[in-house]
Amino acid sequence: MKAAAWTLRLLTLALLAVYLIRPETFAAALAPLAPAGAPAVYTQSSVLELAAIHVAIAAVATVLATAAALALAVFATRPAGSAFLPLFRSVANAGQTFPPVAVLAIAVPSVGFGEAPTLIALTLYGVLPVFENALSGIEGVSPAVLDAARGAGLSPRQELLEVELPLALPAILSGVRLSAVIALSTATIGSTVAARTLGEVVIAGLATNNLAYIVQGAAAIAALTVLISDALGALERWAARRAGRG
Partner 1 sequence: MITIERLTKRYDDDVVVDDVSLEIAEGAIVAVVGASGSGKTTLLRMINRMVEPTSGRVLIAGEDTRATAPHLLRRSIGYAIQGHGLFPHRTIAENVATTPKLLGWDKARIEARVDELLSLFGLEPAIYGPRRPHQLSGGQQQRVGVARALAAFPRVLLMDEPFGALDPIVRAKAQADLRAIQRKLGVTVVLVTHDMDEATSLADRIAIMERGRLVQEATPVEVLTHPATQFAADMFGADERPFRLLSLKSVADLTQPGEAGGEPIAADADRREALAALLWSGRAAAPVTGAGGERLGIVTLARLVEAAAAKAR
Partner 2 sequence: MTPGAIERSALRLDRVGATLAALGVGGLALGPFVSARPNRIVDGVPHGLFEALPPSLAAFVALVAAAAALVALSQAPPVLRAFAGAAALACLTLALGQAPRHLTAPGDIYARVAPGWGYWLAGFASTLLIADALTRLRFRPLARLAALVIAGLAAAAAIGSGALDDLSIMKEYAIRATSFWAEARTHLALALGSVAAALAIGAPLGVAVHRVTAARGPTLAVLTVVQTIPSIALFGLLIAPLAWLARTIPGAAEIGIAGVGAAPAFVALTLYALLPVVGSVVSGLGAAPPPAIDAARGAGMTDWQVLAQIEAPLGAPTFLSGLRVVTVQNIGLTTIAALVGGGGFGTFVFQGVGQTAIDLVLLGAVPTVALSFVAAVVLDAASESAGAHA
Rounded distance between C-alpha atoms, residue 4 and residue 157, angstroms? 45
CB 11 → partner 2: shortest distance, Å? 14
- Residues 129-158 within binding reach of partner 1 (CB under 8 A): 142, 144-156, 158
Q: Which residues of 18-44 are buried (b: 16+ CB within 10 A; e: fewer)?
A: ebbeebeebeeebeebbeeeebbbbee
The residues binding partner 2 (CB under 8 A) are 33, 80, 83-84, 86-87, 89-91, 93-94, 96-102, 105-106, 108-109, 181, 184-185, 188-189, 191-193, 199, 202-203, 205-206, 211, 214-215, 217-218, 221-222, 225-226, 229
Rounded distance between C-alpha atoms, residue 241 and residue 246, angstroms? 5
What is the identity of the amino acid at 172? I
Residue (98 or 238) nearer to partner 1, CB: 238
Binding partner of residue 38 among partner 2, partner 1, none, CB under 5 to 8 Å per kind? Answer: none
Rounded distance between C-alpha atoms, residue 111 and residue 167, angstroms? 39
CB 162 → partner 2: shortest distance, Å? 25
Our finding on whether 161 is near partner 1 (CB under 8 A) is no
Residue (227 or 235) nearer to partner 1, CB: 235
Rounded distance between C-alpha atoms, residue 34 and residue 39, angstroms? 7
Rounded distance between C-alpha atoms, residue 19 and residue 24, angstroms? 8
Query: Using CB under 8 A as the criterion, which residues of the chain lie in contact with partner 1 when the complex forms?
Result: 142, 144-156, 158, 163, 166-167, 242-245
